[in-house]
Chains A and B, each alone.
Chain A
Amino acid sequence: QVQLVESGGGVVQPGRSLRLSCAASGFTFRSDDMHWVRQAPGKGLEWVAFIWSGGNYEYYEDSVKGRFTISRDNSKKKLYLEMNSLRVEDTAVYYCVRGMSGTGWAFDSWGQGTQVTVSS
């Protein structure tokens, strides 16, 4: 079955960087679009970034543009989120998410999430 396992979260000071990873298994990773979605403590869901299956097309939520970079290594079946210039408001659980093929941005598989805390 589809499995997405995030890692790399932790506590970091404002202005510093962090790199999240997501290991995928149970499906043809190279064929599927992938996303990161986050959820701040006690808050709702917020879409963060998207990368096309081929890896050469990306979209970002406005507040992370220029600071976050989504990437993937299809040979390793891994998704990444490079987060720079982190802010307190980036504190959240970050979910690695698979885009459901042909559905117009439906997210059909979610990881368990990794906690990122930005605090001085």
Chain B
Amino acid sequence: QSVLTQPPSVSGTPGQRVSISCSGSRSNIGSNTVNWYQQLPGTAPKLLIYRNNQRPSGVPDRFSGSKSDTSASLAISGLQSEDEADYYCAAWDDSLSGVTFGGGTRLTVL
């Protein structure tokens, strides 16, 4: 069981806006920044959001991140079929002295 809790799956139709939640605790999200990764089928993960809400160059502004207290959220607007992937949140955990990932959320574009 992961330290960070994500919904196993979310779905949406093209053009829709969806969000993925990531719930943690004071020792991880509550004290440190959150990063998000996208893993397309059969490929290595890719950094999507860092420091809670920053996008690396090349990531479309349809992707946005936010954090409040011990929870974080990834929002995807203008949903496209190519967004169908697994999404993971991650943060440093002060209690574990290590990086912890959420269990992952599979996004299905209907």
In the complex, A106 Cα to B55 Cα: how many Å?
A: 11
List A89-114 residues whose CB lies under 8 Å from chain B.
95, 100, 103-108, 110-113
In the complex, A112 Cα to B39 Cα: how many Å?
A: 12
B contacts with A, residue count (CB < 8 A):
27
A contacts with B, residue count (CB < 8 A):
23
How many pairs of A and B residues are in contact by the CB < 8 Å rule? 69
Q: Is the CB of B98 within 8 A of A59?
A: yes
Interface-located stretch among B11-19, B70-78, B88-96: B88-96
Q: Is the CB of A100 within 8 A of B50?
A: yes
A-B contacts, 28 listed (Cβ < 8 Å)? A44-B86, A44-B88, A45-B39, A45-B88, A45-B101, A46-B101, A47-B100, A47-B101, A60-B98, A95-B44, A100-B47, A103-B33, A103-B50, A103-B51, A104-B32, A104-B35, A104-B92, A105-B91, A105-B92, A106-B33, A106-B35, A106-B51, A107-B35, A107-B47, A108-B56, A110-B45, A111-B44, A112-B44
